[in-house]
Amino acid sequence: MRQCSNKIGTQVAEQLERQVTNEQLWLGRRVRIVDGTGLSMPDTAANQLQWPQNSGQKPGCGFPQLKVVGLFCLQSGALLEVAHGDKHHQDITLARRLWHLLQPGEILLADRGFCSYLDIAQLLGRGVDCVMRLHQGRGKPDFRRGRRLGQNDRLVLWHKPPQRLPHWSKKEYDQLPKTLTLRILRYAITVPGFRSKEVILVTTLLDPKLYPAQELEKLYFRRWNVELHFRQIKTMLGMDVLRCLTPRMVLKELAMHRIAYNLIRALMQRAALTYDVTKPRKEMRTAPHRNRPKNQS
């Protein structure tokens, strides 16, 4: 039953993908967005065994926690696939189960939690480019180094980590290239109410003529769509708190939410195509880093 549900969800997503027009592509490229979220469910022994609650909570005072990572299409909004695990799984670990779905020529758009040497190298090996926010663990880059492409826009060389990280297998580590040539760019956000005032991006799109910095800034701003998609699924479709009492039924419930979401997306897409409706987008207003207001940090 669950395999059938997953197959239906995939078929609806593929139907959404076939209707994406060339005008909707980003500079002629398909873009995928990845992100993770958490769900809870009834406090049964079976669910607790499969997806235990947070260790800081006393028994009977918490709920089983299911972690989900979804791969979405930027253009159609389709939920292409999900990977799930328990509280011990990091989002990036679950996301690696989805990389095989990415096709050569596509672009992966992701937040800083997915920015790692291993994953960028693996994506490049599949012919997939990426645009990610720089992980805070790498520290603040020196924009005086590297080849200058423009203001706050540089080509830099990343070196393979000298030691294998705990969540990397030895085989994965041994297969990594010794260096990666990447592009980093920095810009300030001037949209009132946004928490982040400065963003540093890492991308494998190295050509500043084909992929101008301003277009990359606008693209990363659209990463917020994935937050809206999860809010729609969890709040409007009621997936935030699942209802089933056993892991087997919980996974069926998860699959049905994916089907329902993609069906609604298909209806929205059909209406837009029928009436030739294009929704105008409010672009992010950015300012050069050197002109950033003093009260922004």
Sequence-ordered list of residues with C-beta below 8 angstroms from that of 226, at least 6 positions apart, any chain? 33, 34, 35, 70, 72
Q: Which of 119, 24, 121, 37 is nearest to 76 (CA)?
A: 24
Residue 13 has pLDDT above 90, yes or no: yes
Give the pairing of strands 198-203 and 179-189.
Answer: antiparallel
pLDDT of residue 194: 66
Angle of the 247-274 helix axis to the 2-18 helix axis, nearest 10: 20
The two counts, helices (H) then strands (E), for the chain are 8, 10
Q: DSSP string of 115-139?
A: --HHHHHHHHHTT-EEEEEPPGGG-
Beta carbons within 10 angstroms of residue 216's beta carbon:
21
The span from the CA of 19 to the CA of 30, in Å, is 13
Q: Are 36 and 95 in contact (CB under 8 A)?
A: yes
Domains of the chain, by residue range, sit at 2-291
| pLDDT tens digit sequence for 180-225 | 999 999 998 877 766 667 899 999 999 999 999 999 999 999 999 9
Q: Are 197 and 186 in contact (CB under 8 A)?
A: no
| pLDDT tens digit sequence for 143-171 | 999 999 999 999 999 999 988 888 788 88
Give the architecture (CATH level 2) of 2-291: Alpha-Beta Complex (3.90)
